[in-house]
Structure formats: C-alpha cells, structure tokens
Amino acid sequence: MNATVDPKKLIKGVTGDWEVVIGLEVHAQVTSNSKLFSGASTEFGGAPNEHVSLVDAAMPGMLPVINEECVAQAIRTGLGLKAQINLKSTFDRKNYFYPDLPQGYQISQYKSPIIGEGTVLIDTPDGSTASVGIERLHLEQDAGKLLHDQHPAMSYVDLNRSGVALMEIVSKPDMRSSEEAKAYVAKLRSILRYLGTCDGDMEKGNLRADVNVSVRRPGEPFGTRCEIKNVNSIRFIGQAIEFEARRQIEIIEDGGTIEQETRLYDPNKGETRSMRSKEEAHDYRYFPDPDLLPLEFTAAYVEELKSHLPELPDEKRTRFIESFGLTPYDAGVLVAERESADFYEAVLAGLGNAGRDGKLAANWVINELFGRLNKEGQEIAASPVSTAQLAAIVDLIGEGTISGKIAKDLFEIVWTKGGDPKALVESLGLKQVTDLGAIEKVVDEIIAANPDKVEQARAKPQLIGWFVGQVMKSSGGKVNPQAVNDLLKSKLGI
Ligand code: ADP
Ligand code: MG
C-alpha cells in the first residue's frame, strides 16, 4: 500500500522515528442456522451441550457433510471483499489436542482456501481513503468451550459452539497505524453486516481479531512480528497495537531483538503479555481431510449469488455523495450501518420535494437524531421520532416555515410527546415571522432604546449581532435571523 511514508503516522523513539506494521487475522462467525458440517443449531445461549450432534461430539464413525449455506455465505463475503473466488478448494485437518476439541483436529482450509486475494477500502481519520489487501478467506470449525467456574474440582466442556462455521479473513500487512487497523475492522464489520454473512457482534465473540504487529525504521524491510490473540473490541485492538508497538521499539532501542511470539492483551492493565514463543508453536501436521471431497462449484453459482447481493457501503456512499450532495464524511457516517442509511433514505422519500434537502436531512439525521439516540443509548430501530416526522420537520425548515432554532424545540416535543410536526407548528404558533412590517416595529424600538449601542455598531459592524440577539429574544426565536440582519443593516446604515 503506502509507497511513501506518512510522517504523521510515525512513532517517535529515543533514537529516531519508527513505523508500525499491522496485519489482522479476523475470525467471523458465519450467520447460518446450522453448523459447518452438521445439522445442529448455531443458536446462541442454549443450555450447555444442547446443540450438539454426533458429528460435533466426534463420535466414532460420524462423517461431516458440508452445509451449503455456509459455503454460499463465504462466497458472498468474498464478493463483498472484491476477492478472487476459488471454484475449487480443499479442507484440511489441523491437528492439536485440546479438551474442547473432541475430534483432536479442527477442519480448516490450509493450502487451498475458498477465497483468495481481495481489497477493503478504509476511510482514515485524516479524510483520505486507503486500501488494505486481503490475503485470503477460509472456512473452518469453531471449537467448544471449557467452563472452569461451575465446579470446585472439575472443568466442564460445552460443545454448543463446536463445529460452528467461522470465516478466517487474513489481511496483508498493509496497515501503518492503530487508527488504520481500527478503521479496517470497522469497515470489514460493516461489509459483513450489510451482506448478512456475520452479525459482527464482538461482545459475543462473533467477530474477533488476532493482531500482528511489528516495527521498523521507515523504508527498511519488515521487522519480526508478535501476534496478539483474540482481541474482541475495536477499541482494544487500537490500545493493544499502541502498547505493543512501543514495547517493541523500547526493546530494539535498548539493543535487544524481538522474538516472534504469541501474546495476550489485558484490557484492565492496558498491556500485552507473552503467551507462548515461536519455539513452543504447534506443528499442526495439516493434511487433506479424507472424509471430505474437494469443495467445487460453478461460476454460474457464483454469478447467481452475486446477482442477489445488496448495495454495499462503498457504493452506497458514492451514491449518497453524488445524488444528494453529501460530504464524504456525512455519507460515511450514514452508510456505516445499513439501518442508518435506510432511515436516511426513508426521510428523503418522505420529503415534500424528495431529495431537495438531502444535506439538510443528513444534518438532522446525524446531528439531532443520532446525537439524541446516542445520548439515550438507544438503537435506531427504537427511535421515538419516525422517518415521516423527521421528514416533516426538515420540510418545515426547508420551506422557511420555522427557523432552525425553533426546529430543535419542535424536535424535542416530537421526541418526548409525539405528534404531527406540521400540526404542532400551527397549534403552538411556532411559525417563523417573515413579515418585515411586524419585525420593523421591534427593530425600531430596540434601536431607539439603545443609542450607545448604535454608535458602537456603526464603528464596529460585527456588534450588529447584539441587535440580532435582542430582536430574536423579543420574538421568541420565531423571526428569520437573516431577515433581521438585513433590516438592521439598512436601518443602522452599515
Ligand atoms: P502465518 O502463516 O505464520 O500465520 P501469515 O503470513 O499468514 O503468517 O501472516 C499472518 C498475519 O500476519 C497476516 O495478517 C499478515 O498480514 C501478518 N503479518 C505478516 N508479517 C507481518 C509483519 N512483519 N508485521 C506485521 N504483520 C505481519
Ligand atoms: Mg496465519
């Protein structure tokens, strides 16, 4: 990606500048009713071992059967990542012993994954767009879970997750700051949620990342990396990278070297800790699973899936910018979640003159509605203000019936008590006064009562703001500030 090094992203060490290099391996749980190789339910929150088939429990002689929906989900994801779709791929056994893995191996894809190289575009905080390469995406089984807190002397095993389909999405080492890594995960999560291939619920562990971090002097070859396992929040990913990069820089500046190792991030202490070194790394003895034929499908099958994909965030963002005149930033905020984008489009459709006030509507959705929802910790689906009500408020501002200030009061009333905004404006007498005659009287009175201020304003025209404020106050905010301003200017001769 970055041919040239952006000095803003460099980290200052004692002996000079350093560049951090980051690559992520994201595990995303596939949205499907049943598991990758069995018919058992993937439902979350069942009683322990409620959703376990004989295959998931690895009973002797049981054979895995591929779940077509999981394959389709992986292909959809590959298409969303603009990636190479491999019409033929293979499943391998990754052998290791762990009490929550009754098979003694995980079925995964090693040499020949279902999805090859792709790209994710990210919007970085400085407003530019960067591209992060995808190395591959492969399908694999999740393991079960050990429960250590149920019995004083024993650990229990819950196999509900055993065999649930995961997509491992491996990025290239293309990210150069914690901000880029966070933007990448946020964007990936957004794409998966649009596609409906993973719910992106990081709290439940349905999306988690292994974070690979190394540092180097700008322009030098890549340094040795450490891998921070299983980080399950975007904020923690950022914190783990910041800590890890500085830890590595300190070691190198003190004359040491980085050993490749696996580490864990401790969010309470804000630090990463060693888990195992490369010497202790497993040799998984991968080999093709003899119980499964190579996975093959046709280009026509891929085309069929492609034809049903929804509009994805990048395309939607471009359309919002081009069709509704939005800034890239506002468009990005609106398309991050499909529900927000849909809400915005429903507001637009409800306007008297659809699309006319695209920017105004975006401001109201983002600043007033989202702002208020955030404050209350509510989801957009639970918004007390409907798309039709918000459209009516935007219409009232757009056509000059109410001022922006009154509109905020009106929004507050609709939020707390509900009602039809147009009817409320009538019944509460909120209409903006545009009749200059009515304003003129007030303006004259204020000018007559404040000769000293008049002097000052003539000397320093910015002081006209004081007069505008007085007029607004005496009219209860219902006059059009621009009209007041114009009138005052002509009256004061400035
Ligand atoms: P392995 O096969 O040992 O798991 P990979 O080449 O698959 O290694 O890389 C795993 C992850 O580590 C990828 O996401 C990749 O981008 C990242 N990565 C590789 N080299 C580096 C490096 N020097 N610094 C940071 N990340 C790296
Ligand atoms: Mg790897």
What is 429-452 written as a DSSP string? Answer: T-PPB--HHHHHHHHHHHHHH-HH
Q: Are 188 and 168 a contacting pair, CB within 8 Å? A: no
Which residue CA neighbors atom 24 of ligand 1 most closely? 214
C-alpha–C-alpha distance, residues 20 and 194, integer Å: 31
Instruction: Report the candidate in 163, 156, 38 with the shortest Cα–Cα distance to residue 106.
Output: 163
Which residue CA neighbors atom 13 of ligand 1 most closely? 23
The answer, as to whether pTM is greater than 0.85, is yes
Instruction: Find out whether the beta carbon of 226 lies less than 6 Å from any atom of ligand 1.
Output: no
Beta bridge partners of 489: none
Name 307's Cβ contacts closer than 8 Å, sequence gap at least 6. Answer: none
Please give the number of the atom of ligand 1 that sits closest to the Cα of 222: 23
Question: What would the two tokens of residue 124 be?
Answer: 């970085």
Instruction: Find out whether the beta carbon of 169 lies less than 6 Å from any atom of ligand 1.
Output: no
Please give the number of the atom of ligand 1 that sits closest to the Cα of 24: 14
**Positive or negative: CA dihedral 413, 418, 420, 424:** negative
C-alpha–C-alpha distance, residues 313 and 319, integer Å: 10
C-alpha–C-alpha distance, residues 127 and 177, integer Å: 15
Q: Are 258 and 247 a contacting pair, CB within 8 Å? A: no
| Domain 436-492 of CATH type 3.40.50.720 | no
Instruction: Find out whether the beta carbon of 20 lies less than 6 Å from any atom of ligand 1.
Output: no
Instruction: Report the candidate in 409, 421, 424 with the shortest Cα–Cα distance to residue 477.
Output: 409
Instruction: Find out whether the beta carbon of 83 lies less than 6 Å from any atom of ligand 1.
Output: no
Name 183's Cβ contacts closer than 8 Å, sequence gap at least 6. Answer: 122, 123, 124, 125
Please give the number of the atom of ligand 1 that sits closest to the Cα of 214: 24
Q: Are 139 and 165 a contacting pair, CB within 8 Å? A: yes
DSSP symbol at 365: I
Instruction: Find out whether the beta carbon of 358 lies less than 6 Å from any atom of ligand 1.
Output: no
Instruction: Find out whether the beta carbon of 24 lies less than 6 Å from any atom of ligand 1.
Output: yes
Instruction: Find out whether the beta carbon of 222 lies less than 6 Å from any atom of ligand 1.
Output: yes
pLDDT for the residue numbered 1: 44
pLDDT for the residue numbered 486: 84
Q: Tell which one of 212, 222, 224, 276 to mutate to probe ligand 1, the residue whose CB is within 8 A of the most ligand atoms.
A: 212
Instruction: Find out whether the beta carbon of 25 lies less than 6 Å from any atom of ligand 1.
Output: yes
pLDDT for the residue numbered 354: 57
Q: Tell which one of 18, 132, 225 to mutate to probe ligand 1, the residue whose CB is within 8 A of the most ligand atoms.
A: 225
pLDDT for the residue numbered 480: 75
Query: Terminus-to-terminus CA distance in the chain, angstroms?
Result: 56
Residues in the chain: 494
Instruction: Find out whether the beta carbon of 212 lies less than 6 Å from any atom of ligand 1.
Output: yes
C-alpha–C-alpha distance, residues 412 and 420, integer Å: 13
**Which helix (H) or strand (E) covers residue 487, if one does?**
helix 481-492
C-alpha–C-alpha distance, residues 112 and 136, integer Å: 10
Proximal ligand: closest to the CA of 171: 1
Q: Are 183 and 126 a contacting pair, CB within 8 Å? A: no
Q: Tell which one of 168, 170, 184 to mutate to probe ligand 1, the residue whose CB is within 8 A of the most ligand atoms.
A: 170
Parts of the chain belonging to CATH 1.10.10.410: 436-492
C-alpha–C-alpha distance, residues 275 and 281, integer Å: 10
Instruction: Find out whether the beta carbon of 178 lies less than 6 Å from any atom of ligand 1.
Output: no
C-alpha–C-alpha distance, residues 295 and 108, integer Å: 12
**Which helix (H) or strand (E) covers residue 23, if one does?**
strand 17-29
DSSP symbol at 462: G
Instruction: Find out whether the beta carbon of 248 lies less than 6 Å from any atom of ligand 1.
Output: no
Name 377's Cβ contacts closer than 8 Å, sequence gap at least 6. Answer: none
pLDDT tens digits for the chain (494 residues)? 445 788 888 999 999 999 999 999 999 999 999 999 999 999 988 999 999 999 999 999 999 999 999 999 999 999 999 999 999 999 999 999 999 999 999 999 999 999 999 999 998 777 778 999 999 999 999 999 999 999 999 999 999 999 999 999 999 999 999 999 999 999 999 999 999 999 999 999 999 999 999 999 999 999 999 999 999 999 999 999 999 999 999 999 999 999 999 999 999 999 999 998 877 777 899 999 999 999 999 999 999 999 999 999 999 999 999 999 999 999 999 999 999 999 999 999 999 875 578 999 999 999 999 999 999 999 999 999 999 999 999 999 998 889 888 999 999 999 999 999 999 999 988 887 767 777 888 888 889 999 998 988 888 888 888 988 888 888 777 777 777 888 888 888 88
Instruction: Say if strands 226-231 and 261-266 run parallel, antiparallel, or are unpaired.
Output: parallel
Strands (E), 150-245: 156-158, 165-171, 207-216, 226-231
Instruction: Find out whether the beta carbon of 241 lies less than 6 Å from any atom of ligand 1.
Output: no
The SS3 assignment for 3 reads: coil
